[in-house]
Chain A
Amino acid sequence: MKQTSHDREARDAAFDEQVRSMLSEAAVPAPAASETLFAPVATKAGLWGKLGLAAIGGLFLWGAFELAGDNPSAPSVLTPIPASISASPSAVTGPSGPAMEEGMESSERPDKDGMPDQNAAFEAGGEGGDIAPSTAKPNLAAEPTAVLGSEAISASGSESTTVAAEATEKAALSTSDPVSGAEEGPRADAVSPSPDPAAIKAEPASLPEEPKAPSATQDEQQDANQPTLTLPLTLPSGGGH
């Protein structure tokens, strides 16, 4: 039996139609769906929401930390001191009370090493017991900067500065009669009111108000000593210039 191509195409089309009609609506019992199939996008959205909230919270905390950190960082801009000044024995008003006490305690060892240099400076200036004008002069000249530099000194915690401060303090205490040279007159006033050690210790305690030093106990002591400390801040700067 011969078959033309037209007949073949017609037969194929009929077969295709029959297959389509039989199978297009066919169904097979499907397996049960897993619970993870349903609403997966909502789960992802919830995850992203949580991540977003965490990110916002992190940014908020970071911003708060930055704002809190701006206050202590502001004075530090004003305090950079040349190394020569910060290392000079001008730190009569050096670190704050507790910081100075700690520094003195910690500098007991290097104190012995640092003293020869100081003694050498004294010897170069004149007699060891007396403070020659040339020796006292750097102290007074550096005093205004020491008001600002005290923070850097206390913050850096350099032992040499602490030793220098101690040496200068001892020298100032050892001179029973304040230096009353004609040219250092007004500046000596800043030093002269502190012949007794208590006054010296109380005086620098006021200065570290600016730096807001690291320890909490230091802040408490600053607050306690704050009323007595305003004068040294103003006097040296006015007298120095």
Chain B
Amino acid sequence: MASSQELLGLIEGCKSQRPSSQRALYTRFSGQLFATAIRHTNAREDAEDVLQESFVKIFKHISSYREDFSFEGWMRRIVVNTAITHYRRNLKHSHHHDIDEVHATPGDLENKNDNEFTASELELAISKLPLGYRTVFCMYVIEGYKHQEIADKLGVDVNTSKSQLSRARKYLQNVLATLSSRAKSIPSMGLDQEVDTP
């Protein structure tokens, strides 16, 4: 991990519109930001678009970044906002899935303390959430938004944000608990079937 001085040098170089600094910044943070973009989009192609658009915004507005805040957090917020814009732009063309369609396995509460799952399994389970639920969950749990902020950005009611978060969390807990308990015996237990079944 590079030192903070090195990061400050990169930021200053990007403020000066230096292409070498911009390339270095992209190389350093693109993987992390791409993971964030994937979480807030439905397809990898959409995530690539969001990432590119986010870096355009980052390079354009980097002079407005204040060093009082986390630079990674500032960039991730840009990615999330860009993904939300992308999501709302394509909202008319996307099929809305409700989380009620997911068949939850019983015994989720029993497995509540048995969260032995990997990051890739977690990513996979999150990716199976409907986009609206996924966005609320990621904004609240990973990015640290408050419900009021989520409601404002998504254009929904605060209670809608709370309910979607609760249901998304419950679904993930259920799926991951089931995974951790059965994955070794039934590795092919399909998240796809559970989530995508209408």
- Chain B residues with CB under 8 Å of A182's CB are none
Question: CB-CB contacts of B134-176 with A at 8 A, as 1s and 0s?
Answer: 0000001110000000000000000000000000010011000
Closest partner residue, chain B, to A43 (CB atom): B17
Docked-complex contact B19 and A19, CB < 8 angstroms: no
- Chain B residues with CB under 8 Å of A31's CB are 34, 48, 51
Question: CB-CB contacts of A9-44 with B at 8 A, as 1s and 0s?
Answer: 001100110111011111111110110011111100
Pick the interface stretch among B81-89, B115-123, B186-194.
B115-123
Pick the interface stretch among B3-11, B24-32, B93-101.
B24-32
User: Given known contacts A3-B109, A27-B32, A31-B51, is B22 in contact with A38 (CB within 8 Å)?
Assistant: yes
Q: Which of B28-80 touch A at CB < 8 Å?
A: 30-35, 38-39, 48, 51-52, 55-56, 59-60
Check: B182 CB closer than 8 A to any chain A CB. no
User: Given known contacts A26-B123, A42-B17, is B115 in contact with A37 (CB within 8 Å)?
Assistant: no
Number of A interface residues at 8 Å Cβ cutoff, please give it: 28
Check: A1 CB closer than 8 A to any chain B CB. yes
- Pick the residue among B22, B112, B169 that contacts A16 (CB under 8 A): B169
Q: Nearest 7 pairs between A and B by C-beta?
A: A27-B31, A30-B30, A30-B34, A38-B19, A28-B35, A39-B19, A38-B22
What are 29 A-B contacts with C-beta separation under 8 Å?
Answer: A16-B169, A20-B141, A20-B142, A23-B39, A26-B32, A26-B35, A26-B119, A26-B123, A27-B31, A27-B32, A27-B34, A28-B31, A28-B34, A28-B35, A30-B30, A30-B51, A31-B34, A31-B51, A33-B23, A33-B26, A37-B22, A37-B55, A38-B26, A39-B17, A39-B59, A40-B56, A40-B60, A41-B60, A42-B17
* Interface residues, chain B, with chain A CB atoms under 8 Å away: 17-19, 22-23, 26, 30-35, 38-39, 48, 51-52, 55-56, 59-60, 109-110, 112, 115, 119, 122-123, 126, 140-142, 169, 172-173
Given contacts A30-B26, A37-B56, A38-B23, list 10 more A-B pairs with CB under 8 A: A15-B172, A15-B173, A18-B115, A19-B142, A22-B119, A27-B31, A27-B34, A33-B55, A39-B17, A41-B59
* Interface residues, chain A, with chain B CB atoms under 8 Å away: 1, 3, 11-12, 15-16, 18-20, 22-31, 33-34, 37-42, 45
